[in-house]
Amino acid sequence: MFKRYFNLTRMEFVLYLREPSGFFFTLIFPLLLMMLFGSIWGNDPFPGENFGYIDFAVPAFIGIVILTTGISGLTTSIAAYREKGILRRFKSAPISPLLVLTAELSSLFIITVLGMLLLLAAGVIVFGMRFYGNIPEVFFAFVLSTLSISALGFIPASLAPTARSAMIISNVMYFPMLFLSGAALPREMLPSFLKSFSQILPLTHVIELLQGLWLGGHLWEYPVQILVLCGVTVAGFAFAAKYFIWE
């Protein structure tokens, strides 16, 4: 069982990295954004604070990686398998369907970790990034955030009949969260009505949680964010368990 899981995960990982758009938007695009904005604003501490722009923004760029793998990557990959009949063959093969989906999630999680490590390395080497948080708490928040956004991606992935339709649906979900959650641009730049709207976006809670912990906060200070992300995780996987279409 473990050997099959390992082989499937490795196969999914390699296939994802061979896809130019997936590779670029997961690993390169967030890094380019960080380098661009970091070159503009630098990382000198804000007045009255002990952290600068990069210290504050790196968790948001990590949120972009989580968003890309959990929404775009997961949705289009599963829909493409459905369109090509691969899911149907998996279901009839002597391989547990749950094993297939777990391997898909595992490969995307590894890619998400890789994207995060690239951002951290660039942040430290280029901008002298500082970290004030607790590593286990930040890692827990990272795992929860990745699970919640992936669970959200499973909702359209469960139903989209083709890769093209999945791409359209994922873009409708992706771009509002990218620009309104604080991922690409600070939420402080948004007008008040968009700030209020952004509170319904799961990625907003991901970034609030990651940024707060990164700058020295603790998990118990963010009960709303944790509850929202746990709720999204349960709802997304429950939806997939009930409505997932294999053909």
Q: Give the pLDDT score at 93.
A: 65
Long-range own/partner contacts, residues 198-205 (CB < 8 A, 24 or more apart): 201/176, 201/177, 202/148, 202/149, 202/152, 202/177, 202/228, 202/229, 202/232, 203/63, 203/66, 203/67, 203/149, 203/177, 203/178, 204/177, 204/180, 205/229
Residues 6+ apart with CB under 8 A from 203: 63, 66, 67, 149, 177, 178, 181, 183
Tell me: pLDDT of 234 over 80: yes
* Lowest mean pLDDT segment, chosen from 8-22, 149-163, 208-222: 8-22
Helical pair 202-214 and 163-180, crossing angle rounded to 10 deg: 50
Q: What is the domain partition of the chain in residue ranges? A: 2-243
pLDDT digits (tens, 9 = 90+) for 25-75: 889 999 999 999 999 999 999 998 999 999 999 999 999 999 999 999 889
Q: Give the pLDDT score at 119.
A: 96
pLDDT digits (tens, 9 = 90+) for 157-179: 988 989 889 889 999 999 999 99
Question: Model-level pTM?
Answer: 0.93
What is the distance between the alpha carbons of residues 171 and 184, in angstroms, rounded to a whole number? 15
User: Percentages helix, strand, coil for the chain, rounded to the nearest 5?
Assistant: 80, 0, 20
Provide the pLDDT confidence category of residue 95 given band limits of 50, 70 and 90.
low
